[in-house]
Amino acid sequence: MILVWIALIPIIGGIVVWPAGRLHPLAPRVISLAILFVDLLLTLKLIEAGGSGAWLASFYAPWVPSLGIGFRFNMDGLSWILVVLTQILGIIAVIVSWSDIKDRVGFYHANLLWSLAGSIGVFIALDLFLFFFFWELMLVPMVFVIAIWGNENRRRAAIKFFLFTQGSGLLMLVAILALVFLHQQQGGILTFNDAALLATQPTGPFGILAMLGFFLAFLVKLPAFPVHSWLPDTHTEAPTAGSVILASIMLKTAGYGLLRFAVPLFLDAAHHIAPLAMWLGVISIFYGAILAYGQADLKKLIAYSSISHMGFVLVGIYAFNAIAWQGVVILMVAHGVSTGALFIAVGAIQKRLHTRDLAQLGGVWTDLPRLSSFGTFFVLASMGLPGLGNFVGEFLILRGTYAVAPLVAVFASIGLIPAALYSLIAIQRAFHGEATVPRRVSDFGARDVSVMMALALGIIVIGVYPQPLLNIGAPALGNLVPAKQVSALPQKGRGG
């Protein structure tokens, strides 16, 4: 039952905070923080209690029995890691928007909580209809956050985000229904239960087409080349907290979906498209890095860098290698922390200097030394500096991929060179040099420093001692597909 409460508490919280904004602007903020802290404590208790077998906790109740739809929630180590990441960054999103949101505060926090609730549901739902329900719940409130509280071109960005995500979501729904009906045809049972559908394993052209419905939906959300164009505009126009949730949480639902559904449900088709998927990942690494290098807008630069980093996730998943999969989990967490922090830093710069243009940001370190210190640190973390979390994730992905596809690993590693270039250029142009105009602005205060210190500590701990995350996630990764389908030891093969 605890999983039901973990999913329900943010939904109920959104219903509570909406009218609370009419009583006092502070009420939605305080209530949202309390709700997310309670939700986090419930999730942390699960790892202490352990669980039976592969699951830390499970719950099932019928929803629409005649259609085989039920409330089926399961949490393993992989789900636990991503739910905790969602809750922690949700708390930070509330804190960073504390003084930024002044209009319709209750409705803003309601949408924030509902979007987080959708993300949590995505990570724990193992009924495919329920999964799709939470997938939609996650996206729709974010459209409101962008369209109402975003920047100048917010409505155009919100519409683009909606069209891309909803269009790809419909493809996934068609694929879900196709898989369900095939299972019914084979076994005579209509069900959306993931555990039952795993036995279907469609092959041939039908299997490839059904798998592509999942694959394309997750590829859009990851995002990867060539279905990435919604991301830069959405990030540019979204408020700071919206960008944090988009980059740090929502992109991870795509990586999780590939690992949990697109690969295990269609093993034969997934192996068939693995070379294409890995090379798409390599293209995304270079494409995102090169476009980030050419950006004058600091927020767009970070947005394009996410496309590059998520390319490593795509490569690692389709390497079908245990080490690479562990790297995928570490990189998703580390990217969530470092990129979330970068969007917070850029939002703070925009609030104080009213620009994100790198040509106008020179000398920020002189005026805002604390902000610039944290900004530099997280740019280096995102670049993959050894000793920090992103490096561990990318190293494990490249190490695991090299065992099965050496050529892919070599090209992916070359993609780290333009990443270093745009990172160093961002540091030099934004924080160093001489200021273009005199500035009198306030630096990070105690609340901002506390948030950034917490994120910095997280990225250092992951980089120096990632073993706890590896230990929590390894059993879940080992249970996703049959052991013979995943390479645990170096061996030459596909893509090399």
What does the alpha-carbon distance between residue 451 and residue 248 come to, in Å, rounded to a whole number? 15
CA 440 to chain centre: 36
Token pair, residue 215, equals: 């694959």
Secondary-structure breakdown of the chain: helix, strand, coil percentages, each rounded to the nearest 5: 75, 5, 20
What are the backbone dihedrals phi and psi of residue 140, each rounded to the nearest 5 degrees, phi first?
A: -60, -45
Is residue 210 predicted with pLDDT exceeding 60? yes
The answer to whether residue 288 sits within a structural domain is yes
Using an 8 Å Cβ cutoff, are 490 and 402 in contact? yes
What does the alpha-carbon distance between residue 212 and residue 197 come to, in Å, rounded to a whole number? 16
What's the mean pLDDT when you consider all of the chain?
90
What does the alpha-carbon distance between residue 301 and residue 441 come to, in Å, rounded to a whole number? 24
Digit-coded pLDDT (tens) for 154-168:
899 999 999 998 888
Is residue 437 predicted with pLDDT exceeding 60? no
Contacts of 311 by beta carbon, 8 Å cutoff, 6+ apart: 224, 225, 280, 281, 282, 283, 284, 285, 286, 287, 288, 412, 415
Span 71-88, average pLDDT: 95
Digit-coded pLDDT (tens) for 249-279:
999 999 999 999 999 999 999 999 999 999 9
Q: Which contiguous run of DSSP H or E holds residue 72?
A: strand 69-75
Q: pLDDT band at residue 490, thresholds of 50, 70 and 90?
A: very low
The answer to whether residue 492 sits within a structural domain is no
Span 207-218, average pLDDT: 94
The answer to whether residue 251 sits within a structural domain is yes
Token pair, residue 46, equals: 């699960």
The answer to whether residue 491 sits within a structural domain is no
Taking alpha carbons only, the member of 422, 304, 343 closest to residue 89 is: 343
Digit-coded pLDDT (tens) for 7-24:
999 999 999 999 998 888
Residue 494 has a CB neighbour count (10 Å cut-off) of 15
Tell me which residue has tokens 């979501």: 169
Using an 8 Å Cβ cutoff, are 487 and 406 in contact? no
The answer to whether residue 96 sits within a structural domain is yes
Domain range for 86:
2-485
Work out how many domains the chain is built from and give that number.
1
Which pLDDT does position 113 carry in this prediction?
A: 96
Classify residue 461 by burial, with Cβ atoms within 10 Å: 0-12, 13-18, 19+: middle
Token pair, residue 429, equals: 């142009």
Q: Helix, strand or coil for residue 452?
A: helix
